[in-house]
A = this chain, B = another copy of it.
């Protein structure tokens, strides 16, 4: 009994540590994808999010989500908190990444407080937590979502959708004649490094969400979960690679990596329940959805510099539906209901909060500020001050 407590606590710490690698993971991915004039501010935002979202969650959100600090007894309550805390910043990361290169930092920090203390804990409350909707018609606790396909990825995605609708696109991104200005990523090694740190973090994210490893059954479930997570990432990368290759005869590493991330999101709702081959299909569809939806969002003039809508929102939905398709015991209606209820809470709330923040504190940088770069306006620190720039 004590040994189970010890091993499961150790395992939660291990899993949490992997997830924390996603903090530099998101930071490097986004810093590589934006232009050099916005790199410092993107990094600042990533550090800020981790600090503020975690602190808000510790001081307010965690008890609201789970009802108390002592709601479970299988592992150390501190390890349980750490594991849950590692998730919270991700929701804001998804949103902040998608509005890069045009958002100001202080208003983002305010939104981060709201997400960490209130918005994300609300969703956790009704899914994995105390569940104030229990017994009502809106109870979605039957949704099968192991590691947050809807709870985290869609939540972040809906918040991002609201933010993009309110803020609009980056200066010069969509021309009057309908042309789309391509804005190239400034640092491909950072993009690659970031994507792999996210990938490794996903092992902790999904594997740790099994909740325990200290029985043979749980050990198998954890190992299967991590294997399936990895398989979906691989399948997404291959599909992202093939689809762009057959279309453009070029190898687009950003689409390979976003395809991998799409596959990783897609598998996140049920990796412990799939056989080892289903994640190939689930991840491949996830990768394909990224390749398909990135230009669709561009056509809709929804400007998303890192492809977060396609990776997290589209695949958050697809991945949640996939459990019902591939696992007979899971009902499609439970999954759809979960997706809809979360959307119905997160989207309007995010929209209202971001709208108010934008009105009072001006979330969006002006065209002139964007031209100069958010780094100069907000940080006063250049990312690479010694390198001569050609753009």
A-to-B contact residues, CB < 8 Å: 2-3, 5-7, 9-14, 16-18, 20-21, 23-24, 27-28, 31-32, 35-36, 39-41, 43-44, 46-48, 50-52, 54-55, 58, 75-79, 81-82, 85, 105-106, 184-190, 192-193, 195-197, 199-200, 203, 207, 213-216, 218-220, 222-224, 226-227, 230-231, 233-235, 237-238, 241, 245, 248, 250-254, 256-257, 260, 276, 280, 378-391
Question: Considering the chains assembled together, what is the distance between the CA atoms of A323 and B10 in angstroms?
Answer: 26
Which of B192, B203, B238 contacts A46, CB < 8 Å? Answer: B192
Contact present for B105 and A251 (CB under 8 Å) = yes
Q: From residue A38, how far is it (CB to closest CB) to chain B in Å?
A: 11
Instruction: Specify which chain B residues have a CB less than 8 angstroms from the CB of A386 in the assembled complex.
Output: 35-36, 186, 387, 389-391
Q: Given A51-B241, A192-B47, A379-B253, A223 and B76 touching (CB < 8 A)?
A: yes
**Chain B, Cβ-Cβ closest to A250:** B380
Contact present for B105 and A260 (CB under 8 Å) = no
Q: How many copies of this chain does one complex carry?
A: 3
**Chain B, Cβ-Cβ closest to A255:** B381
Contact present for B253 and A43 (CB under 8 Å) = yes
Question: Considering the chains assembled together, what is the distance between the CA atoms of A222 and B40 in angstroms?
Answer: 34
Instruction: Specify which chain B residues have a CB less than 8 angstroms from the CB of A10 in the assembled complex.
Output: 7, 10-11, 14, 213, 219, 222
Question: Considering the chains assembled together, what is the distance between the CA atoms of A388 and B186 in angstroms?
Answer: 12
Instruction: Specify which chain B residues have a CB less than 8 angstroms from the CB of A7 in the assembled complex.
Output: 3, 6-7, 10
